[in-house]
Amino acid sequence: MTRYNTGNPVGSNSPLDLYDNAENLDAGINGAALTWRDRLGVTRRSWSGIEADFQQFLADGSTIEFPTWAEASTAAGAGQIPLNRQVAVIGDAGTHTDPVSGEVVPNSGRYVMVAGGLQWRAPDVLSRKADIADLDVVRDATDEVDARTQDIARGSAGNTGGLALTFALVDPDGNAIAGIDTANNLQVLGLTGKDFHVDAYTQGDWDFALTDAAGYVIAGIRDGVWQAASDARQLDYLDQRNREFSASVRSTAVRSVQQPSADFNVVLNYGQSLAEGNETWPSLSKVSTPGTLMLGDNVDQSATSGSYTPIGSSTLNPLVAHTRVGTNNLTDAQEAGLLPGDQAIGEPPVAALASTLKADMNRRLVVEDDGRKVVALNPAVGGRTIEQLSKGATANIYPLVTDGLSKAKAQTGASTVCVPLVSFAQGEYNYADVNSTSPTTDRAPYAQLLDTLFDNIAADVKASTGQALAPLFLTYQTGASWTRDVSLTGVVGLSIGMAQLDVALSRRDAAMIGPVYQYPDKGGHLDSNGSRWFGCMYAKVARKILLEGQGWQPVRPLQAEQDGRSILLHYHVPVPPLRFSSPVVGATLAVYADRGFRVTTADGATDIPISSVELVRGTIIRLSLATEPPAGALIWYADKTVHNGNGMVCDSDREVAAFDYEFVPERGMYPSANIAAFVGKPYPLQNWSIAFCIPLNYSEFQA
């Protein structure tokens, strides 16, 4: 409920935070609500909530036991039993008149201390179980333990699942329910775990249970019968925890960024080949969205350094896409004459990004054109490292950003101008030294370079436009065939992709939209449908942050839990549940038996085979391994070595783009682009998991 929501870290001395804290303190101490949200967006229990929890604790707390009703009644009369406390009388065969209901009830039973006295509620545990026929099953199972132990250990009696057990709990048919194997491990219906415990379990509806060291129920007595516990309840809890994390992401908006509130709102697209749009021919976006503009006769420009050089005129024109070679826009016939592998630029992602963002701005006001203009600029240059794109580099590429903005401003007259959004797509040439320029290929140095680049763009944009706030920086994760598992310095772990995530999560003015491996490509560069699809994903995330005030993170892991040969992966999922789907690799819908996962030793050199990959909850994936992984093992998704940077994990977002997938062979589109699942349909905008490499003990949750 805070007013200013500065997002400053704890320790702030800002009077704005002091104001917010005062509001929250009043709500948390004096309010009737059970919870309140602090200034950093964390939900806390209020004083009212604590009081309610305490009363519930009393109601649900441990039971006070008495051997006779007389002793329990005496203690109640002496004020020794708190209100709402549960009481049990066990083994007293008599009866008495209940002081609350006035009915004659058994002395043995379960009671609750209320204002009128001890009120009888139900028979005691043993009496209740005696009324259940299955109690004999429980007794039989436990009575037979000693008698059957040696037989089961030899495997000569009952069903042990092929295990040699030195101790076992069995049912009346001789089937092992749980036991200890020769390695002193607990075995339960195929599940394994160490450090088992036998506890009186008071949570849920278990009356007695075997639990593991973490307190998870493995097997026990419930409703009078021995039964094994699946991990369903614990998975439900963890799934809900993960969903609450995702809800907190959505409710924590990216703050301190410029809104598209000026007369002319410039969308800058910077980076290398995927940003520039290499091989994205034939062009597709031929109809301009009302209020969208480009500088010149093409959304792209022709310079690779120095001054921003528009194609054709230098005026602001309606935004459409044209394929260009050099400084010339091509006709349809000329497009059709291009050869496979030609680097012509036709459909840069900024075209769909700017068009979709403007359409969303119009739609929010339910008008054809709300009067604000969106101007697309594309100063990206293919085949460049982040060092070459940085301010002050001898490559002299960075001035394309500032010069392009200056030239666009010059066409707006006295109108207001701002830059609400910078889309950035780069990293391919930092994953490998393909250009012999010795770029950084390690995680932390790349993250620092990216941070500095964003800082410089923000400062120069503010100086040029006069806007007080930085633009929103939207980055993607470099991947697919460009990714590398090991850096040039020998560091293991998808360095560039993980660095890009680090920057997106650490900055208040940045977000990562997700990966790029799912889009159709021409062997590395996206094709025209893939690039436009990519631009639509940029626009979706821009809308959520800039227009709807939501926070955003891509599908990504939050925690890895190992239990023997089993690994649970917990995810942030924007739209649960997770699901498996086929990415488009080239122009083929790919399927991987392991869904894109890999587990290796710490050096990445030896793989631990994966037996199965399954979705066990909406935010949880279980990897089952052939052997237990060693200490320091790594979990990979969309690695280079095995999957060439691809995977099959996405969420269930049903949003679709405003553009349809087009197949136009008459203008040179490859025949392989005729993908029946997509042609003539809107691009689906589900969110795909980022590529990652994390250790077995990775967790973003407090221990």
DSSP 466: -
Q: What is the DSSP string of 348-376?
A: -HHHHHHHHHHHHHHHHTTSS--S-EEEE
Reported as a pLDDT band with limits 50, 70 and 90, residue 134 is: very low
Q: Which two tokens stand for residue 472?
A: 């929103």
Tens of pLDDT along 604-656? Answer: 999 999 999 999 889 999 999 999 999 999 999 999 999 999 999 999 999 99
Nearest to 189 by CA among 224, 160, 148: 160
The reply to whether 43 and 100 lie within a common domain is no
Residue 676 in any domain: the answer is no
Reported as a pLDDT band with limits 50, 70 and 90, residue 43 is: confident
How many domains does the chain divide into? 5
Which pLDDT score is estimated for 140?
42
> What's the farthest any 2 CA atoms get from each other in the chain?
102
Neighbours of 598 (CB within 10 A): 24
The reply to whether 115 and 142 lie within a common domain is no
* CA–CA distance, 474 with 688 (Å, rounded to integer): 16
The reply to whether 219 and 270 lie within a common domain is no
User: 111: helix, coil or strand?
Assistant: strand
The reply to whether 493 and 616 lie within a common domain is no
* CA–CA distance, 400 with 391 (Å, rounded to integer): 10
- pLDDT over 50 at 195, yes or no: no
Q: Which two tokens stand for residue 637?
A: 């998704």
* CA–CA distance, 117 with 99 (Å, rounded to integer): 6
- pLDDT over 90 at 178, yes or no: no
Tens of pLDDT along 350-404? Answer: 999 999 999 999 999 999 999 999 999 999 999 999 999 999 999 999 999 999 9
Residue 500 in any domain: the answer is yes
- pLDDT over 80 at 547, yes or no: yes
What residues form DSSP beta bridges with 579? 650
CB 246 within 8 A of CB 576: yes
More confident residue, 577 or 222: 577
Which pLDDT score is estimated for 224?
61
* CA–CA distance, 89 with 125 (Å, rounded to integer): 10
* CA–CA distance, 524 with 183 (Å, rounded to integer): 51
Cβ within 8 Å of residue 73, ≥6 positions away: 96, 117, 118
* CA–CA distance, 89 with 118 (Å, rounded to integer): 11
Residue 681 in any domain: the answer is no
The reply to whether 295 and 340 lie within a common domain is yes
Which pLDDT score is estimated for 465?
97
Mean pLDDT of 100-106: 86
Q: With pLDDT > 90 as the criterion, what percentage of the chain qualifies?
A: 63
Which residue type is seen at 283?
S
Pairing state of beta strands 682-684 and 588-589?
unpaired
The reply to whether 483 and 513 lie within a common domain is yes
Pairing state of beta strands 95-97 and 316-318?
unpaired
* CA–CA distance, 405 with 270 (Å, rounded to integer): 12
Reported as a pLDDT band with limits 50, 70 and 90, residue 307 is: very high
Which pLDDT score is estimated for 5?
74
The reply to whether 117 and 178 lie within a common domain is no
Reported as a pLDDT band with limits 50, 70 and 90, residue 190 is: very low
Q: With pLDDT > 70 as the criterion, what percentage of the chain qualifies?
A: 82
Give me the domain span that covers residue 22. 15-58
**Of the residues 83, 103, 129, the one at which a domain ends:** 129
Pairing state of beta strands 264-271 and 417-425?
parallel
* CA–CA distance, 251 with 41 (Å, rounded to integer): 8
Which pLDDT score is estimated for 133?
37
CB 212 within 8 A of CB 193: yes
Place of tokens 């809308």: 543
The reply to whether 73 and 21 lie within a common domain is no
What is the SS3 string spanning 377-434?
Answer: ECCCCCCCCHHHHCCCCCCCCCHHHHHHHHHHHHCCCCCCEEEEEEEEECCHHHHCCC
* CA–CA distance, 62 with 371 (Å, rounded to integer): 67
**Of the residues 5, 34, 58, the one at which a domain ends:** 58
Which pLDDT score is estimated for 56?
59
* CA–CA distance, 150 with 167 (Å, rounded to integer): 8
Cis peptide before 583 (omega within 30 of 0): no
More confident residue, 3 or 541: 541
CB 556 within 8 A of CB 689: yes
* CA–CA distance, 225 with 129 (Å, rounded to integer): 9
Could you give the C-alpha distances from 549 to 116, 326, 678, in angstroms and in order? 54, 40, 31
Of 95-104, 256-265, 540-549, 693-702, the one with minimum mean pLDDT is 95-104
Kindly report the average pLDDT of the chain as a whole number: 86
Q: Sign of the C-alpha dihedral, residues 124, 125, 127, 132?
A: positive
* CA–CA distance, 622 with 614 (Å, rounded to integer): 5
CB 344 within 8 A of CB 533: no
Which pLDDT score is estimated for 571?
98
* CA–CA distance, 595 with 611 (Å, rounded to integer): 12
Mean pLDDT of 7-34: 78
* CA–CA distance, 347 with 536 (Å, rounded to integer): 12
Cis peptide before 577 (omega within 30 of 0): yes
Tens of pLDDT along 653-678? Answer: 999 999 999 999 999 999 999 999 99
Residue 92 in any domain: the answer is yes
Mean pLDDT of 525-545: 97
Residue 671 in any domain: the answer is no
The top-scoring range by mean pLDDT among 41-50, 231-240, 414-423 is 414-423
Of 104-118, 199-213, 245-259, 636-650, the one with minimum mean pLDDT is 199-213
The reply to whether 413 and 296 lie within a common domain is yes
Which pLDDT score is estimated for 217?
54
Mean pLDDT of 594-607: 97
Residue 411 in any domain: the answer is yes
**Of the residues 500, 531, 552, the one at which a domain ends:** 552
- pLDDT over 90 at 11, yes or no: no
* CA–CA distance, 375 with 633 (Å, rounded to integer): 48
Reported as a pLDDT band with limits 50, 70 and 90, residue 19 is: confident
The reply to whether 178 and 120 lie within a common domain is no
More confident residue, 298 or 236: 298
Angle between helices 528-542 and 349-364 (to 10 degrees): 40
- Tell me how many helices (H) and strands (E) the chain has: 15, 38
Place of tokens 């950084």: 440
* CA–CA distance, 567 with 263 (Å, rounded to integer): 53
Of 11-15, 241-245, 648-652, the one with minimum mean pLDDT is 11-15
Structural element, H or E, at residue 462 = helix 443-465
Mean pLDDT of 279-286: 97
* CA–CA distance, 585 with 520 (Å, rounded to integer): 6
Which pLDDT score is estimated for 80?
87
Residue 595 in any domain: the answer is yes
Nearest to 253 by CA among 546, 653, 554: 546
Which pLDDT score is estimated for 435?
61
Cβ within 8 Å of residue 265, ≥6 positions away: 372, 373, 374, 375, 417, 418, 419, 420, 421
Structural element, H or E, at residue 125 = helix 125-130
The reply to whether 340 and 444 lie within a common domain is yes
Residue 517 in any domain: the answer is yes
Which pLDDT score is estimated for 337?
95
- pLDDT over 80 at 294, yes or no: yes
Tens of pLDDT along 483-507? Answer: 999 998 899 999 999 999 999 999 9
Structural element, H or E, at residue 505 = helix 495-506
- pLDDT over 70 at 167, yes or no: no
- pLDDT over 50 at 536, yes or no: yes
- pLDDT over 80 at 437, yes or no: no
Which pLDDT score is estimated for 222?
59
Q: Which CATH number do you get for residue 642?
A: 2.60.40.1220
Which pLDDT score is estimated for 94?
85
The reply to whether 215 and 275 lie within a common domain is no
Reported as a pLDDT band with limits 50, 70 and 90, residue 218 is: low
